[in-house]
Amino acid sequence: MRCRMCKERAVISMRRHNTAFCRLHYREFFFRQVSRAIQEFGMLNPQEGVLVCVSGGKDSLVLWKVLHELGYKTRAMYIDLGFGEYSLLSKQKVFNTAKKLSQEPIVVSLKDMGFDILASAKAKHRPACSVCGTAKRYCFNRTAFEEGLQVVATGHNLDDEASRLLGNVLRWQTHYLAKQSPVLPSESEHTPKKVKPLVKLTEREVAVFAFLEGIDYILEECPYAKGATSITYKLLLAQLEEKMPGTKHAFYLGFQEHLSKFSLAEAPKGELKTCKVCGQDSFEETCGFCRLLGQLSP
């Protein structure tokens, strides 16, 4: 297998693009896909400060490195979820990349905030991931505001977004479909713009890039990810992709052309207020995170 550009030995072949690249040209391809996503969807401009949410996994660490090398003003944030060994190891991976990039990440510890995901999930009879999502969103918004950063970037890739889209379509969750854009505008000074610059790249493509760049990332899944429906959707999409290369791309990125049809179907949210506990945006007197936190207090 030879590189399409220079005929050197290829390190990756991509059936969906019907092409193969050597190490050098794959790097160029990868950066081009990120830059194209940023331009096409109007994600970032060079003046904006970007909070990159890093988990210690390959996607977010790759995103941090690529945005940093593209010259964007990045600051990384790691949220210590308090998941024992898994959290210790993932934090270590973040610091390994931080050292290589000569950047200091912001570390937010839920424990230091008096919050415990598992205790809250048990008290509320909610899945851990649902409580975790609320806590993470709160930390992203609050940290971006406190640090004066206009944008929050996450490492969601094409597989993540296509599987989420499939789940939303299967249940016709139109208010979620309206939010499946790779860029969500800021709603107020407390809520930054949210962007996903890796949406044009598959999980495999990100993994190959991480390997070639020597990025040290956590291989283990979060211990509470087991049984997530998104894994089932990813497997289904992988089977389709195997038979029909390019399906995931056409499904998710093709959907972007129809996105405006779903905006009007968005669930009414009511009036935006200020949380009386923390001062962040909320549609109720107290924001979702402060309500969860309050229920854990003795």
Binding site for ligand Q46 (CB under 6 A): 81, 128-129, 132-133, 222, 224-225
**Contact by Cβ (8 Å): 56, 94:** yes
Which C-beta is closer to ligand Q46: that of 110 or that of 215? 110
Q: Which residues of 50-76 are buried (b: 16+ CB within 10 A; e: fewer)?
A: bbbbbbbbbbbbbbbbbbbeeebebbb
Q: How many C-beta neighbours within 10 Å does residue 138 have? A: 24
- Residue 235: C-alpha distances to residues 91, 102, 252 (Å): 28, 37, 16
128 binds, among ligand Q46, Zn ion, none (CB under 5 to 8 A by kind): ligand Q46
Position 204, amino acid: R
166 binds, among Zn ion, ligand Q46, none (CB under 5 to 8 A by kind): none
Closest CA to 104 of 68, 140, 57: 68
Query: Minimal distance in Å, beta carbon 279 to ligand Q46?
Result: 25
The site string for Zn ion over 208-247 (x = CB under 5 A, - otherwise) reads ----------------------------------------
Q: How far apart are CA 205 and CA 40, in angstroms?
A: 20
Which C-beta is closer to ligand Q46: that of 133 or that of 245? 133
Query: Minimal distance in Å, beta carbon 285 to ligand Q46?
Result: 26
Sole binder of Zn ion in the list 31, 107, 277, 281 (CB under 5 A): 277
| CA 287 to mean position of chain CA atoms | 22
Which C-beta is closer to ligand Q46: that of 141 or that of 150? 141
Q: How many C-beta neighbours within 10 Å does residue 16 have? A: 16
Query: Minimal distance in Å, beta carbon 175 to ligand Q46?
Result: 20
Q: How far apart are CA 295 and CA 298, in angstroms?
A: 8
The site string for Zn ion over 69-108 (x = CB under 5 A, - otherwise) reads ----------------------------------------
Sole binder of Zn ion in the list 67, 165, 287, 292 (CB under 5 A): 287
Which C-beta is closer to Zn ion: that of 30 or that of 224? 30
Q: What angle separates helix 158-170 from helix 229-243, to the nearest 10 degrees?
A: 110
Q: How many C-beta neighbours within 10 Å does residue 285 have? A: 12
Position 23, amino acid: R
Q: How far apart are CA 248 and CA 66, in angstroms?
A: 23
Query: Minimal distance in Å, beta carbon 126 to ligand Q46?
Result: 11
Dihedral sign from CA coordinates of 159, 165, 171, 173? positive
225 binds, among Zn ion, ligand Q46, none (CB under 5 to 8 A by kind): ligand Q46
Query: Minimal distance in Å, beta carbon 224 to ligand Q46?
Result: 4
Give the H or E element holding residue 135. Answer: helix 128-147
Which C-beta is closer to ligand Q46: that of 78 or that of 224? 224
Query: Minimal distance in Å, beta carbon 86 to Zn ion?
Result: 27
Which C-beta is closer to ligand Q46: that of 20 or that of 165? 165
Query: Minimal distance in Å, beta carbon 6 to Zn ion?
Result: 3
Binding footprint of Zn ion on the chain (CB under 5 A): 3, 5-6, 8, 22, 25, 275, 277-278, 280, 287, 290
